[in-house]
Structure 1
Amino acid sequence: MRNIKMALMLFLPIILVYGCKKLIMVESPKNQLTTDKVFADSTSASAALSSIYTNFEKQFDPNYSTYVSLYTDDIGYIGTDIANKEYYAGRLNATNTTNENTWALLYNIIYQCNDVITQLQNNNALSKTLIIQLRSEAKFLRAFAFYYLVNLYGDVPLLLQTDVAVTAKAPRAAQSLVYSQMINDLLDAKNGLSPSYIGSGKVRANQLAVSALLARIYLYQKNWILAEKEAGLVIESNQFTPLQAPANVFNANSKEAILQLWNQNGFISNSGNIPSPSATGIPQYIITPELYNAFETGDLRRTSWIGTKNVITGGAGKSYYYGAKYKNKTANTSSPEYLTVLRVAEQFLIRAEARAMAGNIHGAVEDINIIRQRAALGPLPTSLSTDACLMAIIKERRVELFTENGHRFFDLKRNDLLNTVMGNYKSGWQNGVSSLFPIPKSEITNNRNLIQNPGY
């Protein structure tokens, strides 16, 4: 992990200003190495790439997962923060600072990726093998950032360069164009990466991580054949199976993990904030009754991934539930946990959905039952109707992937269930408006070519 530390010293000061209001309009500060110097040797060039992973782990996620879960019916909020209350209400203002940071952080990541790709062009200082590796990972990470942007905001600027004169005035591009770019980036990355991991652990993308993200994107685009194909490549590699017991899924280097984000101290930075630290305090972020009751009796995921805090107030006790997929609340290098962003259980559910939509109910149910068996639940019959099979997949995705990476929000949206479910759950929900986050007002002010989402 020496490369990540090098990156923080060499690369981040050049291009990243946290919470920057004028995105990507960042000049090289005085007394810092310029990026052409960073890419003059293999150590600093690798460190520059590693810093992008660090930004996903330290800045963007896991905070993003908490907020977007708050936006749905996975997490409730007992607190006073105005920005958080807007997420819980399902109605963001265009000035919401958390939303501003989400947008800015993702575009800062894209800027870093673009800079890596640009600096590797016609680079004579690095080996061809290293150039292909770094460029492929940068394209994977760029696609990952655009995946979040397009699903949160809809049409977004498709920035593929670092020229401020161009990026500062870029209009929104159609989602179809952004998806096409994502797929092109991932196909290029897949050709340049090996099925093996670089270094120790699973903290840098390999060919199978690319397939996992491709499978998700093809599923969202309703390309059932390619979604099944890419998910199958991951599953049938046998690198990530058999599935882990629920208690072990989020450990560092878990068998099930396809891609994790390394951290130095072995715990997820916001995991200690979810249960209240005091004996009598109520957790700020609580699992909703709707999510808790979605689990079947005996489901090991509920007992392992949901914590309980009993609070006594005025002599009366009440139980509150909170997310506990990550157990470490403080530094733990002997049994570390890394933030997991891609794992094989999702791939089984992707393949199940693709198979069901293509008419292969038997194969779909087989994949669902692999997930259920891990949870100590009985198998579903392979004689399910197509509709029953698809509803079973939606239910399994909810209890398997809750509070992870915005899956609940995106799943409801792509299955045309968002307004029905959330409209009945949140009083502030507005059909036709709340399905997209607002473009931050500061971005609209700085770039007159940006057009706000309807209703904001």
Structure 2
Amino acid sequence: MKLKKLGYLAIMSLLTFSSCSDFLDEELKSSLAPDNTYTNTHGFEVGVTGLYEFARSEYNTWGGSDNAFSHGQATPYEVLQVGTDLANTGHNDAILLVFNNYSYTPLTLFINTWWKFGYGLAANANQILEYSEKPDIAWDNPTDKTGFQAEARFFRAYAYRYLVYLYGDVPYVDKIQKDFRVDFTRTPKAEVLGHMIDDLKFAAENLPDDPDAVLPGKLTKWAALHLLSEVYLMAGMNEEAEDAAEQVINSHKFELMKDRFGSYKDDEGDVFSDLFKENNQNRATSGNKEAIWVMQQDYNVVGGGGESEEWTTRAWVPKYWQIKDFVIADSLGGRGLAQLMALPWWIDSPDFFDATDIRNSKYNIKRDWYYNNPESDKYGEKAVITDVERKAGQLCPVITKFFYGTLRYGGDPGYGGCTKDRMKFRLAETYLLLAEARLNLNDTQGAADAINEVRKRAHAREISASEVTKDFLADERIRELAGEELRRLTLSRLGLLKERSIKYNEEARKRWDDRFLLWPIPQNVIDSNTGAEFPQNPGWE
């Protein structure tokens, strides 16, 4: 269903503190204006579908006329990965380099667009929530109202998740802003987290229970509980975080995939690589029961995305095609840009993975490259990865989970986008959230038990309680979730952003200052908010 923007521009103007108030005076005469649309169940279906599209657009690069949101530049997802203990860049994109090199400022583009993403998504959720309380709505079923409210409240919490991770104390806005305001104040992070918890508890109580009874990509209570576990961890509520994660695991609605499955189960590979093959994400079509919430990256369909909606494939694949003895091939990941390159400390280490760990198999980390240009004298020979090629992002060891995503575009390996559905939440991470909660509660045996569920599927050795530390957990999340999780957010929650970035990343070590623990508030926000004090984050004044 195609997104209906429903007054989005007006709301965005308010929530990004624009100095322009003309939007407030417009009459929304379109048949898709909120007053005309939010009158029955179908109208709310349209609006809620827009929330899914908006959330998916967090990865959007260059945009497009039908996109709900765009960062307006490449690499928005990558800036939350580079400069950490996970990766640096092999690409000279200036907007990415400032995050890689810790030289961003309150004026940097993505500092502003992630703020707009969070408040734009929250604003659209607020609109649905407010209109759903109006009288005389023609609901098809008695449960429609609470169902739509549950989805909206999930997405509102999801929006504030980014805002508090990146900026700390932020204005909490839970109503449509009908009057032009320049007097916003910063709400303490703890208070914002409390509102997020309330939203997710409501969502968990009112979203569907059966993941087999909803359309692909639709939320269930288990997605809400998974996110609730993380938010409880952010709030230091570890017993509650443990309980939320256990509810997901003990529901028996999901399971770690341990046997080959999906479209490629008879091809070379292993079960971990199967998780990331194209068309293997949705449970109804592939049998994947590990995925809890799957973002639908549908190309060239009504309500779907375009080439700029997701570039993760290009991000993690090196620029091998710049070497004359290579040609672009889908088996090598297509036309990569090396926007993200795994740091050698973990991907080159002989000890980071156990010898039997399938997450380190040739199907999941590509270390051996063979010249594939049939016109080259070196055709079929193994390429030696030189320091020059690695520094240029042309050849390097690389995770393969993002090699896929061109089939829906006709299999063109030069295609820029990635139309593979994206597992946003999966059960392996729920186990690791459970381990984190138990570790924080000093239950190291319980934490080891949770981690070992993930490691057993990977055929790695089981660990003992004495081995469980935050550092070990951070390492395990790389082994399992590299490229899937937003690494900056994870390290921030674990309290390890400074320590591990400095330890493992030369760029961070050279330039670290404690102001980087939070991003700066966008300068235009501070400049426009003339009616109340709006302090900048520490060190960015």
Q: What TM-score do the two structures reach when normalised by structure 2?
A: 0.74
Distance 1:124 1:69 in 2: 47
Q: CA deviation at 1:16?
A: 5.7
340, 343, 346: which is aligned to 1:285? 340
> Is the radius of gyration larger for structure 1 or structure 2?
2
Q: CA deviation at 1:423?
A: 2.9
The answer to whether structure 1 residue 295 and structure 2 residue 353 are counterparts is yes
Number of the residue aligned with 2:477: 397
454, 458, 462: which is aligned to 1:379? 462
Partner AA of 1:287 in structure 2: A
Q: Deviations over 1:418-440 (max 9, x none)?
A: 22222343145433200101111
Task: State how 1:154-169 maps to structure 2 within 5 Å.
Answer: 154-165=168-179, 168-169=182-183
Q: Structure 2: give runs of 5+ residues left out of the alignment.
A: 62-74, 259-270, 283-287, 300-304, 324-336, 370-382, 412-418
Q: CA deviation at 1:309?
A: 7.7
Number of the residue aligned with 1:414: 493
Distance 1:66 1:23 in 2: 30
Q: CA deviation at 1:395?
A: 1.9
Give me the CA root mean square deviation.
3.2
Alpha carbons of 1:300 and 1:64: their partners in 2 closer, same or farther (altered >3 Å)? farther
Partner AA of 1:353 in structure 2: E
Number of the residue aligned with 1:45: 44
Contact residue 227 and residue 354 of structure 1 kept, 8 A: yes
Partner AA of 1:248 in structure 2: D
128, 143, 162: which is aligned to 1:148? 162
Number of the residue aligned with 1:84: 96
Name the stretch that deviates more: 100-109 or 411-420. Answer: 411-420
Of all paired residues, the percent bearing the same amino acid is: 22
Number of the residue aligned with 1:249: 275
Q: What TM-score do the two structures reach when normalised by structure 1?
A: 0.87
Partner AA of 2:482 in structure 1: F
Distance 1:278 1:392 in 2: 33
Task: State how 1:203-282 maps to structure 2 within 5 Å.
Answer: 203-243=217-257, 245-250=271-276, 251-253=280-282, 254-265=288-299, 269-274=310-315, 275-276=317-318, 279-280=321-322
Q: CA deviation at 1:273?
A: 2.0
Number of the residue aligned with 2:528: 446
Task: State how 1:2-401 maps to structure 2 within 5 Å.
Answer: 2=1, 5=2, 7-8=3-4, 15=11, 22=18, 32=30, 33-60=32-59, 64-127=76-139, 128-165=142-179, 168-197=182-211, 200-243=214-257, 245-250=271-276, 251-253=280-282, 254-265=288-299, 269-274=310-315, 275-276=317-318, 279-280=321-322, 283-292=338-347, 293=349, 294-303=352-361, 304-308=363-367, 310=369, 319-332=395-408, 337-381=420-464, 384-385=465-466, 388-401=468-481
Q: CA deviation at 1:14?
A: 6.6
Q: Structure 1: give runs of 5+ residues left out of the alignment.
A: none
The answer to whether structure 1 residue 423 and structure 2 residue 502 are counterparts is yes
Alpha carbons of 1:298 and 1:139: their partners in 2 closer, same or farther (altered >3 Å)? same
Partner AA of 2:535 in structure 1: I
The answer to whether structure 1 residue 436 and structure 2 residue 518 are counterparts is yes
Name the stretch that deviates more: 287-296 or 221-230. Answer: 287-296
Distance 2:298 2:133 in 1: 32
Distance 1:10 1:173 in 2: 27
Contact residue 285 and residue 322 of structure 1 kept, 8 A: no
Distance 1:422 1:119 in 2: 45
Q: CA deviation at 1:405?
A: 3.7
Distance 1:334 1:279 in 2: 20
Name the stretch that deviates more: 119-128 or 182-191. Answer: 119-128
Q: Secondary structure at the match of 2:397?
A: strand
Distance 2:256 2:385 in 1: 44
Alpha carbons of 1:168 and 1:197: their partners in 2 closer, same or farther (altered >3 Å)? farther
Distance 2:368 2:124 in 1: 41
The number of residues matched between the two structures is: 447
Contact residue 40 and residue 125 of structure 1 kept, 8 A: yes
Distance 1:89 1:372 in 2: 34
Name the stretch that deviates more: 444-453 or 203-212. Answer: 444-453
Alpha carbons of 1:40 and 1:161: their partners in 2 closer, same or farther (altered >3 Å)? same
Q: Secondary structure at the match of 2:499?
A: helix
Alpha carbons of 1:204 and 1:246: their partners in 2 closer, same or farther (altered >3 Å)? same
Name the stretch that deviates more: 363-372 or 45-54. Answer: 363-372
Q: CA deviation at 1:31?
A: 5.1
Q: CA deviation at 1:166?
A: 6.2
Q: Deviations over 1:95-118 (max 9, x none)?
A: 111221111111100110111101
Partner AA of 2:112 in structure 1: E
Number of the residue aligned with 2:374: none
Larger helix share, 1 or 2: 1
Partner AA of 1:271 in structure 2: T
Partner AA of 1:269 in structure 2: E
Alpha carbons of 1:123 and 1:247: their partners in 2 closer, same or farther (altered >3 Å)? farther
Q: Deviations over 1:391-422 (max 9, x none)?
A: 4323212322222342x323333333322222
Name the stretch that deviates more: 256-265 or 177-186. Answer: 256-265
Q: CA deviation at 1:136?
A: 0.9
Alpha carbons of 1:394 and 1:168: their partners in 2 closer, same or farther (altered >3 Å)? same
Contact residue 60 and residue 76 of structure 2 kept, 8 A: yes
Q: CA deviation at 1:171?
A: 1.1
